[in-house]
Amino acid sequence: MNGLTGELVIGGGHCLLPGRGLVAADIVCSGGCIAEIRPAGSSRNALIDAEDCLVLPGIVDIHGDAFERQIMPRPSAMFPIDMAMRDSDRQLVANGITTAYHGITISWEPGLRSLEQSMRIIDALERLEPSLLADNRVHLRWETFALDEVNEVLALLTRPKTTLLAFNDHTTPLMKVADVRGAIGRHAQRSMVPPERYLALYESVLSRRAEVPVAIQAVAEAARQNGAPMLSHDDRTADMRAFYRDLGARIAEFPITAEALDASAAGGDFIVLGAPNVVRGGSHTGAIGAEEAIRQGKCAILSSDYYYPAQLHAALALVERGVLRLEQAWELISAAPAAAAGLGDRGQIAEGFRADLVVLCAREERPVATICAGRPVYRSR
């Protein structure tokens, strides 16, 4: 970085430009934005030599919860939140993610996804923000049966840094799984309580199911007033998707059934599926195959979900498998999630846009540099 001009020059890379594909160019960043795109080789003293590399828009992750495994890598083994979030931040930029919405759950459960723990995570992100490398944001996953936590959810929607709001219901389906006993045991471990205590809590919140629709309406109204984009999570039916769409939730996150997926596509919603689904060649839970949905034009966004490296590798895999061209595949992890989240200043390489970029060694399928708001935050050569 030139200390006098504040310019950062990325020289000689093959840059993915809107409507033009890969173009050999130099990119000049200044004041946190892309100031100029010049012919390749026309700039002197490039700080980052991108020759033989691709220069791509920084990845926007609309839903990632891998940070939970930094906080609790094994059941009941909790680590300091600041340590966990700093480490997650480093993982983000090492994988080309420049904007990350952390899926922070506010549930009726104690433990990892409790209100108290979630507030600690949000507080840590706010305190650590000046020293973090990526643009770390909050994707608030509200469990709709967390009725006693509604007031705190409403308050979080007024945060200056716009929050995403997802409507989650992992309560109703719990007793419908094939192995109820095993599911209760796993949830109890995460909640750090004995299974019998978890079951008692579960039955208590389930008894208040009649209150849930009113709470959903109130939270949705607050989200609309505060301009928080809304998502519905794990839609199972067309009616479920229509209900949330009518509330203003135009993002359908991980629709579970073909019926819900088709209804989302027909309604023109942003459909989010998991990048690990693409990388692994299918869902680990037996849900809809993301690659097939993409082939059908029924997926707009790929999120990291539970594995940060997956977005980059999913996009490259789609190109290698002949499913999409590079510009189409990369849009799934850059421009489209930025648009869905209302971030109109990023997601593509264009003058005036935020200088969020990843310099990729295509041969090795790895970032060699990540730039966030014009600042190099990761270098591997």
pLDDT tens string 227-246: 999 999 999 999 999 999 99
Mean pLDDT confidence for 36-65: 93
pLDDT for the residue numbered 1: 40
pLDDT tens digits for 122-173? 999 999 999 999 999 999 999 999 999 999 999 999 998 889 999 999 999 8
CA gap 185, 63 in Å, rounded: 26
- CATH of the structural domain 58-348, one choice from 1.20.1740.10, 3.30.460.80, 3.30.1360.10, 3.20.20.140: 3.20.20.140
pLDDT-based confidence at residue 276 (cuts at 50, 70, 90) = very high
* Residue 139: partners with Cβ closer than 8 Å, 6 or more residues away: 62, 63, 64, 101, 102, 103, 104, 163, 164, 166, 231
Q: What is the pLDDT of residue 222?
A: 98
Say which CATH class 7-56+361-379 falls into.
mainly beta
* Token pair 């459960």: residue: 109
pLDDT band at 358 (very low <50, low <70, confident <90, very high): very high
Count CB-CB contacts under 10 A for residue 125. Answer: 22
List the chain domain ranges.
7-56+361-379, 58-348
Dihedrals φ, ψ of 249, to 5°? -85, 100
Q: What is the pTM of this model?
A: 0.95
